[in-house]
Structure 1
């Protein structure tokens, strides 16, 4: 049977350091912590969490409530959370809400009945109601991609506005002067921030983003395809389009291909997320990458720290996206 001492030897650290990484009881340098996690996974070490849980009155389970883990972005986040939870000796229970408040509340009741130790949550726009229930039950929670100041809850955020600026700067830098955008759902927090940053970058370059050059969709492939068709009808002179996530960008590529248009010769396309499929589209998709690995691991780390320090002030970590240049963007061709 693998022991914590075996993990310590494999990672070349002390047993105490392994314990601190697993229980988030003390800060450990990121490189060292990653070495410990790799050793735990390699050796398939599983602590006796049941006995320890019985002593401490905990279940060693984390609830994970996401809108839709069939979306590759959320699937990636879920995998990172599951891996980080496993390393810390926790089981993760995943629920999909489809972004519907009624499903969120129902699943929350299910998770609370299972006596989860904590919750990681990303969902609809009506988070305050859900977290009001959590605060009354004393279940610690970490919110993904939203921040609620009215309740004491930690959050892991991404600077979506900065990501939108990166997309706008890239297209303007390539020489595009007439551009369009495909936004996500209006009640989401991420899409408006991405579009705001995109418009700011264009404005800084002396360009405009007219209303007719923006079409809202639903963050899905089919929605992106329909939105691209509408965009070409409403703003036929654009030479580039920014889609607020990669699935919609892939739908846009499909719509353009169906019309016999070439990317990037006739139209440049840039997405957001950098899901695994983005590098395999044709042409490979230029996109703004979200730090998926950090989103998941930091969410688990904050939750474990909260479990050890329930009275601490709420913490809000903001992660920075980066531009990934591939082959779907180029200088504008012959369009005027």
Structure 2
């Protein structure tokens, strides 16, 4: 029996039968009872609704040395939280996989993946391994690595522009000389910032007096800076760091050596991790839109899954903004 046949027997419209079947108002008690008796007599039941299976997105968190992925407090976790929230809002199931120090294993997981799409954390993937990702057939978006000169979809902060605005801020305060607190461990973002640092110094008329290579962890940057200070290093009135973790570790070592921040040296960070607000003094930095990176990665992946992959190669660069705190000031007259 179909709904139309039941409706004919009850001398009502198919819409009325549907209202009764779904226990909705709009049908008189007598009519409802008569329809229910007919349904019972013919043992009619609503056919089961076809459930559309939820699509899966895999987030692969790859860690090489972990110094940046795990060491830059709250940065990567905020991106992942945003990815998870956006997937949930768009009706996707998120599967998070972590692989440490074995890119071949990560590559194998991606090659065999049956998910509808992949978001790959590219922070610590070395350039030598970039070409290997061409073997991935599943639609993929890479976050936190621009992967220059490679045909991959990427969502990352605009390192060149952000570095320029950071240095321009120091220049506008009146600083003419600046030190570079550079990471001793290179990743794509630090490489981009390094190129931008020297280029922007030239464009702004700033002199880079020294480049200090520091380990990109709190303790590592602290120990590295203590060694430089012990060897008699001299500092200009301002410094720019590759990220906040380096800036905070270096600042602690400088303070222990008797330097006053910012009176003796203004320190500028990059990222705006939570520690920036509780350091003493709080750190001036450039706020990277971590949540926007995560959200845009999911949205771009959804678009990617509906496009011709051969013609798809989008790099999304998100701008950052200055957060001025107490670790910077105009140069003091001596």
The TM tier, using the shorter chain, reads 0.7 to 0.9
Q: TM-score, normalization: structure 2?
A: 0.73
2:130 to 110, 125, 128: 128
Give the whole-Å Cα distance in 1 for the aligned partners of 2:205 and 2:95. 49
Count of matched residue pairs? 273
Q: Secondary structure at the match of 1:229?
A: helix
Q: Which residue number in structure 2 is paired with residue 105 of structure 1? A: 104
Separation (CA, whole Å) in 2 of partners of 1:196 and 1:159: 13
Counterpart Cα distance in 1 of 2:225 and 2:248: 10
> Structure 1's 166 and 223: CA in aligned 2 closer, same or farther, altered over 3 A?
farther
Deviation sequence 1:290-332 (CA, Å, 0-9, x none): 1112111111111111112243422121111221111100122
Partner of 1:229: 226
Q: What is the alpha-carbon distance in structure 2 between the residues aligned to residue 189 and residue 51 of structure 1?
A: 43
| TM-aligned CA distance change 1:174 to 1:228, over 3 Å | farther
Q: Does 1:86 align with 2:88?
A: yes
For residues 52-90 of structure 1, give each alpha carbon's deviation from its aligned partner in whole angstroms, at most 9, with x where no partner exists: 23xxxx851323324344332111111111111122222
Give the C-alpha shift of residue 167 in structure 1: 1.9
| Residue equivalent to 1:302 | 300
Tell me, yes or no, if the aligned pair for 1:172 and 1:202 is still in contact at 8 Å: no
For 2:196, the equivalent position in structure 1 comes to 197
Name which of 60, 69, 72 aligns with 2:56.
60
TM-fit CA distance, 1:149: 4.3
8 Å CA contact 2:140–2:153 kept in 1: the answer is: yes
Q: Aligned partners of 1:303, 1:288: CA distance in 2, in Å?
A: 27
- Which residue is equivalent to 1:160? 159
Correspondences of 1:6-155 after superposition (within 5 Å): 51-53=51-53, 60-67=56-63, 68=66, 69-70=69-70, 71=72, 72-97=74-99, 100=101, 103-113=102-112, 115-121=114-120, 122=122, 123-126=124-127, 127-134=129-136, 138-144=137-143, 145-151=145-151, 153-155=152-154
The answer to whether the Cα contact below 8 Å between 1:66 and 1:97 also exists between their aligned partners in 2 is yes
Q: Which deviations, in whole Å up to 9, do the C-alpha atoms of 1:214-247 show, x marking residues without a partner?
A: 1223431122213333454464142222111111
Alpha-carbon separation, structure 2, partners of 1:275 and 1:182: 17
Q: Give how far 1:198 is off.
A: 2.7
Give me the whole-angstrom Cα distance separating, in 2, the residues matched to 1:253 and 1:150: 37
Contact 2:56 2:95 in 1 (8 A): no
Tell whether the 8 Å contact from 2:55 to 2:91 is kept in structure 1 after alignment: no
Distance between the aligned counterparts of 2:107 and 2:55, measured in 1?
16
Any unmatched runs of 5+ in structure 2?
1-49
CA distance 1:88–1:108, shift in 2 (3 Å): farther
Unaligned runs of 5+ in 1: 1-49
CA contact (8 A) 1:62 1:93 kept: yes
Structure 2 counterpart SS, 1:194: helix
Larger radius of gyration: 2
For 2:193 and 2:150, locate their aligned partners in 1 and report how far apart those are by CA, in whole Å: 24
Q: Is the 8 A contact 2:147 2:188 kept in 1?
A: no
| CA pair 315-201 structure 1, distance change in 2 beyond 3 A | closer
Aligned-pair CA distance for 1:263: 1.1
Distance 1:333 1:130, change over 3 A: same
Aligned to 2:212: 215
Measured in 2, the distance between the counterparts of 1:116 and 1:209 equals: 48
Contact 1:61 1:118 in 2 (8 A): yes
CA distance in 1, matches of 2:97, 2:182: 26
CA contact (8 A) 1:166 1:198 kept: no
